[in-house]
């Protein structure tokens, strides 16, 4: 058979369904069968990123159902059925290898004239992905039908022979401006927990997202965000809060926890049991703690049990109204942590009443936290100070500046005009500036609470029942023979470096 005829037969062969292809292959001559084997190899590589990986590695590349979902997402992006994909799943489950390496390689094979972008929190990580894809083209170029232009083969930027196609890799502060992309991949935009907890770093990532990467897409372009969750207001969290309906979200926790699991897993089933079974995850959970487990592994940055402390610790530290009625307090303060920053997930203003007795035991007396404006939180804090007869109101002023003290002063004045203060003087107002994140400030309190779960070491107590009710209002008559709280015995209050963390 002449070469032209063979090429025509092979081209026709590729358009046929599998059953017909098998029939033709069985009756083909040895020479034609060899060509058909090559055609089958090409068809397999075209099928999906995972199939391409299987062909080129001889079946050694890892495959799993959750990786099939990534494959399908890229197929749909390549064929124009989807333009926004978010992948959230635990570490070490192959998401970056499949979505930031094999998938771009597969896409360039199908669209050698298109351009891709890969961005990460650092240029080094983005370059690693670019280097892997470049080396794959150098290794398997003949199979892929791709060649690199001789003068453009850098790890962070290379071009494909025969057109305008190629790849550009950069960090979040790298040089993506002035470039365009048919597919943009944002892989690991958050470096670590410290960056996730930093409002400045979260704001920087969001500014980059809105002003840089979103403006680089071609008219028919698509974008894929690949992330392990770190914080409720990280890049994925803010996107979900503002434009959830525009995205295909593939959210895969390490352990299934919903009947709507994308893979149809029953609650309690591991995501990749062949590598990480439920027993392995149980050990990991114990080693990394609840906050890391809830965020990085379950993709829920605010796990139900609590990321810093556990409900059991608080419940075990409760004292009832009768026990509390026999105590004398040396200090009583109201602590206020106003909502602020760049979060879009509905931060609350924290307002708690706390106290210390003469034995240096600590007590959480009340929690009035909630979503409220400045006037409301000022009134709430002042009313709580009146209720508890607090000797000071401690206010964090990071997001309010000098306004924080003014809010409390104006609220007290309003209550005075309304006759609520009954002639009592306004407590001292102590302004503090937090220099570390809330979670880092909460950690020492969590340690005290955890110790409180063991009675011999208990130093922190939650007064009242789960609703915080003490059985009587502070300032009402005590049982016979008991003295009232004596905050004046504590001397001049010392400003705390950071306001007490909120306890629920």
pLDDT of residue 453: 59
- Top pLDDT among 154 and 468 is at 154
pLDDT cut 70: percent of the chain above it: 84
* pLDDT-wise least confident of 196-200, 201-205, 381-385, 471-475: 471-475
pLDDT of residue 279: 95
> What average pLDDT does the segment 209-235 reach?
92
Helix 30-47 with 123-144: angle, nearest 10 deg: 160
pLDDT at 323 over 60: yes
pLDDT of residue 483: 31
- Top pLDDT among 222 and 374 is at 222
List Cβ neighbours of 501 (8 Å cut-off, separation of 6 or more). Answer: 308, 350, 438, 441, 442, 445
H or E element that contains 41:
helix 30-47
Q: What is the DSSP letter of 244?
A: G
pLDDT of residue 226: 96
Confidence band of 400 (pLDDT split at 50, 70, 90): low
Confidence band of 352 (pLDDT split at 50, 70, 90): very high
pLDDT of residue 3: 64
Taking CA atoms, 355 is separated from 258, 334, 365, in Å, by: 41, 9, 7
Question: From its phi and psi, is residue 381 left (phi > 0), alpha (psi between -120 and 50) or beta?
Answer: alpha
* pLDDT-wise least confident of 233-242, 253-262, 344-353, 451-460: 451-460
The tens digit of pLDDT for each residue in 225-269 reads 999 999 989 999 999 999 999 999 999 999 999 888 999 999 999
pLDDT at 368 over 70: yes
Looking at every residue in the chain, the average pLDDT score rounds to 84
Give the integer Cα–Cα distance in Å for 332 and 390: 5
Confidence band of 488 (pLDDT split at 50, 70, 90): very low
pLDDT at 458 over 70: no
The tens digit of pLDDT for each residue in 102-152 reads 999 999 999 999 999 999 999 999 999 999 999 999 999 999 999 999 999
Confidence band of 209 (pLDDT split at 50, 70, 90): very high
Q: Considering only CA atoms, which of 100, 164, 160, 110 is closest in space to residue 132?
A: 100
pLDDT at 486 over 50: no
pLDDT of residue 35: 78
Give the integer Cα–Cα distance in Å for 189 and 288: 21
What DSSP line would sit under 467-478, residue for residue?
T---SS-TTSPP
Residues 402, 403, 408, 409, CA torsion sign = positive
> What average pLDDT does the segment 194-211 reach?
89
pLDDT of residue 37: 80
pLDDT at 481 over 60: no
Confidence band of 153 (pLDDT split at 50, 70, 90): very high
List Cβ neighbours of 176 (8 Å cut-off, separation of 6 or more). Answer: 117, 119, 168, 170, 212, 213, 216
pTM: 0.64
Confidence band of 393 (pLDDT split at 50, 70, 90): very high
Place of tokens 């499949």: 98
């Amino acid at each position: 058979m002449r070469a032209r005829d063979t090429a025509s037969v092979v081209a026709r062969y590729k358009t046929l369904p599998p059953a017909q292809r098998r029939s033709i292959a069985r009756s083909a001559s040895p020479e034609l069968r060899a060509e058909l084997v090559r055609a089958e190899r090409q068809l397999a590589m075209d099928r999906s990123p995972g199939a391409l990986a299987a062909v080129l590695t001889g079946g050694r590349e890892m495959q799993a159902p959750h990786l099939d979902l990534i494959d399908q997402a890229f197929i749909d992006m390549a064929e124009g059925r989807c333009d926004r994909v978010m992948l959230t799943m635990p570490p070490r489950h192959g998401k970056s290898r499949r979505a930031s390496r094999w998938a771009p390689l597969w896409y360039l094979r199908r669209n050698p004239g298109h351009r891709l972008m890969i961005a990460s929190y650092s240029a080094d990580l983005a370059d690693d992905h670019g280097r892997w894809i470049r080396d794959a083209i150098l290794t398997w170029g003949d199979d892929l039908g791709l060649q690199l232009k001789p003068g453009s083969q850098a790890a962070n930027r290379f071009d494909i022979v025969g057109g305008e196609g190629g790849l550009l890799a950069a960090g979040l502060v790298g040089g993506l401006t002035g470039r365009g992309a048919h597919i943009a991949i944002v892989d690991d935009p958050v470096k670590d927990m410290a960056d996730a907890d930093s409002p400045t770093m979260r704001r920087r990532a969001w500014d980059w997202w809105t002003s840089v990467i979103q403006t680089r897409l071609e008219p028919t372009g698509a974008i894929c965000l690949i992330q392990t969750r770190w914080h409720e207001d990280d890049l994925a969290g803010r996107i979900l809060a503002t434009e959830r309906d525009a995205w295909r979200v593939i959210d895969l926790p390490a352990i299934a926890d919903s009947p709507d699991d994308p893979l149809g897993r029953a609650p309690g089933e591991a995501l990749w049991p062949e590598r990480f079974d439920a027993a392995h995850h149980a050990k990991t959970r114990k080693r990394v703690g609840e906050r890391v487990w809830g965020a990085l592994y379950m993709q829920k940055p605010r796990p139900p049990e609590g990321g810093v402390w556990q409900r059991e610790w608080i419940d075990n530290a409760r004292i009832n109204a009768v026990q509390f009625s026999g105590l004398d307090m040396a200090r009583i303060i109201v602590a206020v942590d106003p909502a602020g920053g760049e979060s879009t997930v509905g931060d609350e203003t924290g307002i708690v009443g706390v106290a210390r007795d003469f034995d240096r035991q600590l007590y959480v007396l009340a929690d009035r936290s909630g979503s409220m404006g400045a006037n409301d939180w000022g009134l709430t804090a002042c009313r709580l100070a009146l209720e508890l007869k607090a000797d000071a109101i401690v206010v964090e002023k990071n997001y309010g500046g000098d306004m924080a003290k003014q809010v409390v002063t104006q609220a007290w004045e309003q209550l005075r005009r309304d006759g609520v203060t009954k002639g009592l003087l306004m407590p001292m107002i102590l302004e503090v500036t937090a220099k570390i994140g809330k979670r880092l400030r909460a950690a020492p309190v969590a340690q005290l609470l955890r110790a409180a779960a063991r009675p011999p070491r208990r130093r922190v107590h939650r007064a009242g029942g789960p609703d915080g009710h003490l059985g009587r209002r502070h300032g009402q008559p005590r049982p016979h023979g008991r003295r009232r709280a004596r905050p004046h015995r504590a001397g001049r209050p010392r400003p705390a470096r950071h306001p007490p963390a909120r306890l629920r």
